[in-house]
Structure 1
Amino acid sequence: MRTTFHLKTLAVAIATLSVASMANAAGLDRSGQDVTAFFQDGTYAEAVYTYIDADVSGYDSANVNPGQNDYERGNKTGDIAESYDFFRYGVKTDINDTFSVGVLYDEPFGAAAEYTQSNFVASNNPQASGGALVADGVAPQTAGAIALAESTAAGENTNVEVRSQSLTGILGMKFGANKNFQIYGGPVAQRIQSETKLRGLAYGPASGYTSTSNPDMDYGYIAGFSFSKPEIALKAALTYRSEIDHDIEISETYPIAAISAIAGQGGDPSTVPVPQILAASTQVNNYKITTPKSVNFDFQTGINPTTLATAKVRWVPWSDFAITPPLYNEVSTNAARPDGLNLVEYDDDQWQVELGLAKRVAPALAISGTVGWDSGAGDPTTSLGPVDGYYSVGLGAKYNVTENWAVSAGGKYLWFGDAQGALPTDKIVADFEDNDGFIAGVKISYQAR
């Protein structure tokens, strides 16, 4: 016998629409770190699969002189956003009418981008590139160094990949006369790794830079407060996640470091074989990355016996976040920049808002719709993720297969904010406009009250 939708459970119908934050929308945000599985009644479990495909394309800059910041529209970059997918799992149960426990898994932060054309691809003819740089007003010595750096990675593409996994344990305690209030918290284990390749004249002397950060596991915590009023299907929760400090082993190869050292010792770098330059410019060090704290607010309330309204708000202080690899930072240090450069940084904090309505249209079927907005993390932004937020619309449905089992599916369409891609030196190297993407998700859930 199929169960009917009760007002207080209609929120599950739109959950699959809220599982994905676009990775390039603000900083490295990917999953939105959703915790609503923990607020379901009774024993609850879910498995969610999300697929994201974005079209992020624009133009590089015809100005490749590293000493001049003026942007000049150049060639098309092609689509740099790689499609990706990820999973989320959650399980929760009530020990008694006071205590609840849960475990959540998600992939909170990530990036996947690759340039396959334009000035973000290392030239197969670096000597011609050096001549073009001289003609563009670049000093011959600098042009020669850039051309030699290009030769260490001839024909290779700029790309970045960041992956993370997170496991959260939660213990909740209800209190109040009707157990309407709950405090909850627990430990968070987080694993992160990354790989970055900078290629092409767009990066000037930094062309050829490569870094690989080994996987690192570290720990933080989650804490929150919630209120519920079941008779009107009202649930509200405020959730805080802490920063997590990672001490990561990183291997960096930066050809310009070896080229500069050889030239500084009076040698001719152009006579040194490329493998020798790469070996001399590779270091393995440890450095720190602090993934950002965040605050999520989740709210739902019944409008009538078959309709539910929801709201989600998320804040992440990406302006506090930076990736500062040791060798990259050391090479960029000079009299004008005594602290060197960060490889990745953001100017603004992220605000994300999503509003939704869910409607029961049959005893075992509910449909839902959402609208959303993401502020982005600033414009200009990193050339490795040139999107400044988005607007979105979504549709979804949930079908109760049995009394306990249900399947949900949904999709979102996203309009990305225009952004310019900048180097850490603030030089504008690309311009991206009129881009979009879509998200598709499916969820299987089990609930026993």
Structure 2
Amino acid sequence: MRATFHLKTLTVAIATLSIASITNAAGLDRSGQDVTAFLQDGTYAEAVYTYIDADVSGYDSSNNDPLNNRYERGNKTGDIAESYDFFRYGVKTDINDTFSIGVLYDEPFGAAAEYKGDNNFVANTNPADSAGEFANDPAPNDPISGGTTAALKPAIIGAENSTAGENTKVEVRSENLTAILGMKLGADKNFQIYGGPVAQRVKSDVKLRGLAYGPATSYTSHISPDQDYGWLAGISYSKPEIALKAALTYRSEIDHSMNIYESYPLAPTLSGGALPSTQVTNMEITTPKSVNLDFQTGINPTMLATAKVRWVPWSDFSITPPLYNAASKNPVSRPDGLNLVDYEDDQWQVELGLAKRIAPALAVSGTVGWDSGAGDVTTSLGPIDGYYSVGLGAKYNVTPEWAVSAGGKYLWFGDAKGQLPTGKIVGDFQDNDGYILGVKLSYQGE
């Protein structure tokens, strides 16, 4: 006789796997843009809090010559990763046996990093003593300014003095609000198509300090919060007899046109007086599209297997502040200038899990995960090349409808070299790790 694993008997195990899953990934990816709250049966609501604490440390380069890309191990950077937290909310209900509606909130993209201590990512209080040997012989045209390294040295030291003691720091925050309408199809309502609009809000602050950034030292930018819109679409299939659910979800790119304040003390020097040292202007950013695959199936009446796969084309993403870009242009070697941030590769992320109901109101789960990263070398503002992870979770049903879940994940980060947009390697980051903790309150009714 064929075993049946009714979905309701496994509901206590389902949500344990998404507490701290698909989080802290390549590029600026953070939440994983999970939509599984909408895929639950009946009326469902959840509130999730996630806390990330990573240890990302390495060494700067003692080579401060902007014309020489050779990496020479220098001082320790200390831990540059700032602790980071965010919330996720979701609510969903069935209008009838065909139509469902839901609203999801998450914080999909972000970054939080700061360099401290005695290294070349901190504006030195006496830069003339730590600037190292700039080229003393007549140099070819500098790839940034068209001048020589020797001519830039006083200007770089002057910019260092103007921000003495300040740290390189980056903070990026985003928010998504997604409305979803789903329609079930087929005689048994096994298939569902769903979609809806997405409102996205983004803001950021960047400070580049220290001799590692050469002429870009003391650069500052502030992006005011900007809201723009995209969309989501997906298809799902369910077979309740074996607790099977599968969903494929596509999220569109979202184009932002935002105000940006920039301060670039050396811009007038680099441009021969053609550029200002500060300006407020408009910048275009396109946050990336993504595809998520969510799958689960019952193994036996008390055990559930899950798989999550996510793809994000970070190689298409860049941040190109106008003043930063204009100051980096060279009519011969770099007519289009530089991006402040870009990535070499697309991100692939995979997570596999098992959940086991060990008591009528208690379930536990475990996961293993892999993230490809977005390429090595990578930006000095986020020097991680993917990770491997293991996670544990538990869920306890306080009542048949209300449950509390908690989970944690440990991550081994891939080694990465921090690179400037000019191609110069300015840091080497190895043997780093981190952990993620999450708590969820959920409600599931008929």
The 5 A counterparts of 1:182-331 are: 182-260=192-270, 280-331=276-327
- Offset, 1:127: 3.3
Q: Is the 8 A contact 1:62 1:73 kept in 2?
A: yes
Partner of 1:91: 91
Look up the equivalent residue of 1:242 and give its one-letter code.
S
Question: C-alpha deviations, 1:150-196, integer Å up to 9, x for none?
Answer: 12211110000000000000000001010000000000000000000
Q: Normalized per residue, which structure has more helix?
A: 1
Partner of 1:10: 13
- Offset, 1:8: 5.1
Look up the equivalent residue of 1:174 and give its one-letter code.
K
Partner of 1:269: none
Query: In structure 2, how many angstroms separate the alpha carbons of the residues matched to 1:5 and 1:367?
Result: 17
The 5 A counterparts of 1:29-428 are: 29-117=29-117, 118-129=119-130, 132-133=133-134, 139-260=149-270, 280-334=276-330, 335-428=332-425
Q: Is the 8 A contact 1:8 1:234 kept in 2?
A: no
Structure 1: which 5+ residue stretches go unaligned? 266-276
- Offset, 1:146: 1.1
Query: In structure 2, how many angstroms separate the alpha carbons of the residues matched to 1:130 and 1:381?
Result: 24
Query: In structure 2, how many angstroms separate the alpha carbons of the residues matched to 1:53 and 1:43?
Result: 33
Look up the equivalent residue of 1:17 and give its one-letter code.
A
TM-aligned CA distance change 1:131 to 1:239, over 3 Å: closer
Secondary structure of the 1:309 match is strand
- Offset, 1:258: 2.7
Question: C-alpha deviations, 1:81-138, integer Å up to 9, x for none?
Answer: 0001100000000000000000000000000000002100011113334575367998
Out of 439, 442, 446, the residue aligned to residue 442 of structure 1 is: 439
Look up the equivalent residue of 1:445 and give its one-letter code.
S
Secondary structure of the 2:37 match is helix
Look up the equivalent residue of 1:441 and give its one-letter code.
G
Partner of 1:270: none
Partner of 1:268: none
Secondary structure of the 1:205 match is helix
Partner of 2:3: none
Look up the equivalent residue of 1:124 and give its one-letter code.
T
Partner of 2:144: none
TM-score (norm 1): 0.93
Cα RMSD (Å): 1.7
TM-score (norm 2): 0.93
Question: C-alpha deviations, 1:197-242, integer Å up to 9, x for none?
Answer: 0000100000010000000000000000000000100000000000
- Offset, 1:403: 1.4
> How many residues are paired up?
429
Identity among equivalent pairs (%):
74
